[in-house]
Amino acid sequence: MSDEKLSGYYLWAFSQDDCKEELDIIRRGLRHAYTEERLRQETALKLYNKEIKGSVSRLESFAACPYKHFLRYGLHLEPREEYRIDPKDIGTLFHDSINEFFLELAEKDLSFRNLDNAARLALVQNSVAKVTSQYAILQDGAHNAYLSKRVERITNRTIETLKRQWEAGTYEHIESEVAFDAKQIPKLQMPISKGVMLSLNGRIDRLDLAEDGNSVWVKVIDYKSGQKALDYSKIYYGIQLQLLLYLKAATEREQLHNPGKEIIPAGIYYYHIDDPIVEESEDPETAIYKELRMKGLTNSDSNALAKLESGFSSASAKSEVVNGLQKKKDGDFDARASIASTEELQKMSGFVLEKSKELAAEVMEGKVSATPVAAIDDVCKYCDYHDICRFDTRMSGYKKKRCEKKTKDDLLGRGQQDEINA
């Protein structure tokens, strides 16, 4: 249809009195433009109370999209539950199965290091069966029965790999699903404005400890069912605070448990829960193990490295535990190695506390704008609240928040935050 004919239809339609109401709706829609609005501070106070309580993932949610945070934590909207297993449920099954394994290991007073393959498999099978039995849907149908076996297979691969990584070092103590809150750790409760407090809590997937004379070394591991790597830009803008906050909580917790001792942050890591398919090789198990190396940030201190992996000391060494951790021929670290000194890890842990306070202050100032960050792929595509906000960059006023690339030095120097709106 030509533009001339289309214009003629529009002119005719807008001249009809019996279509006026419907056409006004269309006209307003064509002219709609999104404008950012804020809640009044007294309204925000009524919604969130004088103490913002929650995990750091809540603040990460706010940093990723203030409107999503408002709908979930302000209005308490939840997606309708469906009788099905979704990816979040699968992740929970893996986490719970791994935790159950370590609980049974402790209850039976067994050594993780000395556990043989048969005993490990029996513990895994028992742990997975105990967890999956709590999901009635997994007892329903062949597909869900297959999911149960898949969870068992991948959990067994995970425990096998975690054991091999544990054996590579000299850590002596494992704690699983370590809960913490501001009552236990006073430094996690912070004033953000007059009469308003932020109280952080959380649960660390795994905490490894090693004592060495008057020192306690602390290593934090977070299990992920999808690929995830440490990103300094995301940390800087508040959308990936979890690992460093967990490290802060863990070191403060150990300081309370070990007064007078030096508590040293040894590293923070993501472990990808998977049973990957690798290319055909003479040694497929080694190739799988290499694929499952952890990703994260390692203390560059020689003692920390020795505790992580006893064999990682010589020049040209390449870690079999942490992806990308390697040395050059002259003994210096490779430029791509993700390392930090003890002081740097402590400063970055302090950074996330300050960033948490900043984000909480914005919550209480009433920020509820639908401005998702562009740094997260498909941030809107899989959002539970997309049908409410109807975010669409093709419409006037809608825009994603773009963040400048940041480095470790930016975290240490607390440089000027620079946001560019697209």
Determine how many CB atoms are found less than 10 A away from the CB of residue 383.
19
User: What ranges in 40-116 are assigned the alpha helix state H?
Assistant: 41-48, 56-64, 66-69, 87-107
**Rounded to whole angstroms, how far apart are CA atoms 422 and 418?**
13
Token pair for 407: 């480095």
Residue 316: the pLDDT is 67
Average pLDDT of the residues in 385-403 = 86
On the question of pLDDT at 9 being above 80, the answer is no
Say which DSSP state 221 is in.
E
Q: Is the pLDDT of residue 170 over 90?
A: yes
CA end-to-end span of the chain: 34
pTM: 0.89
Q: Note the pLDDT tens digit of each residue in 214-261.
A: 999 999 999 999 899 999 999 999 999 999 999 999 999 999 999 999
Q: Return the amino acid letter for 187.
A: K
What DSSP string describes 309-375?
Answer: -TTTTSTT-B-SSBTT-BB-TTSSBPTT--EE-HHHHHHHHHHHHHHHHHHHHHHHTTB-----BTT
Residue 254: alpha-carbon gap to chain centroid? 23
Confidence of residue 415 (pLDDT cuts 50, 70, 90): very low
Domain spans, the chain: 173-276+283-346
- The torsion angle over the Cα atoms of residues 244, 212, 298 and 279, rounded to 10 degrees, is -120
Mean pLDDT over 402-411 rounds to 91
3-class secondary structure, 220:
strand
